[in-house]
Chains A and B, each alone.
Chain A
Amino acid sequence: MIFSIYIINKAGGLVYNKDYSEGLSKLTSNEYLVLAGTFHGVHAITSKISPVPGSSGIEMLETDTFRIHCFQTLTGTKFLLVADPQQPSIDLILKKIYETYSDYTVKNPFQNPEMPIRSEQFDVHLLKLVKSFNGLVVNNSNPYNVGNNAGVNASLQSQPHIPPSLPPTLPNIASSGQGLGF
């Protein structure tokens, strides 16, 4: 179950946040900004206080009811994913979010870099992605759906089932006894 997604630019400012579930508390937009800034700072410090040299910043934060996963791109943009502790395939989800971001935000000519993201296409596609992964968790709990493959393709199951249209049947000449006239 994915609770929310945050995107932080390389200066530490929040450029996108979206809640997908009522699982977490509702915060004001100012509080979200403060949260993003705090996380950005903490991410930088955690690589410094490492007991072994060469550590990255914080990648996963764990609590009783949720986990925050952080994916930092090579350009310094951070993607935060707040999900429940049992959510599987987090790496895949983060990768897909990054792909959606690059398709609908980076390639958007009207999007200013490092500025807040206000793109309907991005919202729509992220929502579709989240629904497919949340739907995946629901399907996995179904005891009869044993052979369910993990991945985005599972989203197809949530669409209404259209039976494949059969090709028009040809009259069975052989069995009707008429023959071909030879």
Chain B
Amino acid sequence: MIYNMYIFDRHCQCIYYHDWHRGHTAKTAFDPHGSNNDPLASHPSGGAGGGGSTTTTTTMTDPRQGMNMSLEEEGKLVYGVVYSLRNLVKKLGKSQDGFIAYKTSHYKLHYYETLTGLKFVINSDPNVESLQQALRQIYTQLYVELVVKNPLACATVTTGQVNPETMGAEGFRNGVDRFVRSLTMFDTL
């Protein structure tokens, strides 16, 4: 089961956040947190309808209700964890080593970093083997095609904050949604 996903740029900002089954565990199947996503999961197309459901602004929203921090704060914490672990691994291992994933009792965080300093983070349940290839595909087939090559999208942000919903490229959100929903481990625990 895929819980959520973040993308960070090299200026330490969270430029994208997407939520699927956040707060959804086997025990909380009827939890109001999870039920927001359930009617969408039943849609066969899932494309246009799925993208707009999880409106994430900088304040608390339905899927993240009960979380005692805003998306901004959480993004900073996730970035901090990822950055610290990356440096830890670089110190301990050989130079070409990269931190791939970490696991806790309830989730597994997969990490993929591009050569340009873009960081892709995705959380899944602990039994998922490796989402490195999936993250790589999201980068090469979706991000590069729809955001980098899009003259209207904010590729590098120096002033102000990028809208974490769309990044200026509408098709990206739908594309990511469709891609992740197509993964076999998307809704199986």
Task: List chain A residues, Cβ under 8 A from B23.
Answer: 51-53
CB-contact partner of A62 in B24, B84, B100, B107, under 8 A: B100
Interchain CB contact under 8 A, A63 and B107 = no
Interchain CB contact under 8 A, B92 and A52 = no
Question: Would you call B172 an interface residue if the criterion is a C-beta within 8 Å of the partner chain's C-beta atoms?
Answer: no
Using A35-B88, A51-B22, A51-B123 as known contacts, say yes or no to A63 and B81 having CB atoms under 8 A apart: no
CB-contact partner of A50 in B87, B101, B107, under 8 A: B107
Interchain CB contact under 8 A, A24 and B107 = no
Q: Among the interface residues B87, B92, B93, B105, which one has the most CB atoms of the partner chain A within 10 A?
A: B92
CB-contact partner of B80 in A45, A50, A53, A55, under 8 A: A45
Interchain CB contact under 8 A, B102 and A46 = yes
* Chain A residue nearest in CB terms to B21: A51
Task: List chain B residues, Cβ under 8 A from A45.
Answer: 77, 80-81
Question: Would you call B103 an interface residue if the criterion is a C-beta within 8 Å of the partner chain's C-beta atoms?
Answer: yes
Cα–Cα distance between A31 and B24 once the two chains are bound (Å): 39
- What number of A residues sit within 8 Å (CB to CB) of B? 32
A49 CB, nearest partner CB in chain B, Å? 5
- What number of B residues sit within 8 Å (CB to CB) of A? 36
Residue interface mask B46-78, A partner, CB < 8 A = 1 = 000000000000000000001000000010011
Interchain CB contact under 8 A, B84 and A25 = no
| Chain A residues engaging chain B, CB cutoff 8 angstroms | 24-25, 27, 31, 35, 38-39, 41-42, 45-66, 82
| Chain B residues engaging chain A, CB cutoff 8 angstroms | 3-4, 21-25, 66, 74, 77-78, 80-81, 84-85, 87-89, 91-94, 96-107, 109, 123
Given A35-B91, A51-B4, A51-B123; 19 other pairs, CB 8 A cutoff: A25-B92, A25-B93, A35-B92, A41-B84, A42-B88, A49-B77, A51-B21, A51-B22, A51-B23, A52-B24, A53-B23, A55-B106, A61-B101, A61-B102, A62-B102, A63-B99, A65-B93, A65-B94, A66-B93
Selected A-B contacts with CB under 8 Å, 24 pairs: A27-B91, A41-B84, A42-B84, A42-B88, A46-B109, A49-B74, A49-B81, A50-B106, A51-B22, A52-B22, A55-B106, A57-B104, A60-B103, A61-B101, A61-B102, A62-B100, A62-B103, A63-B98, A64-B97, A64-B98, A64-B100, A65-B93, A66-B92, A66-B97
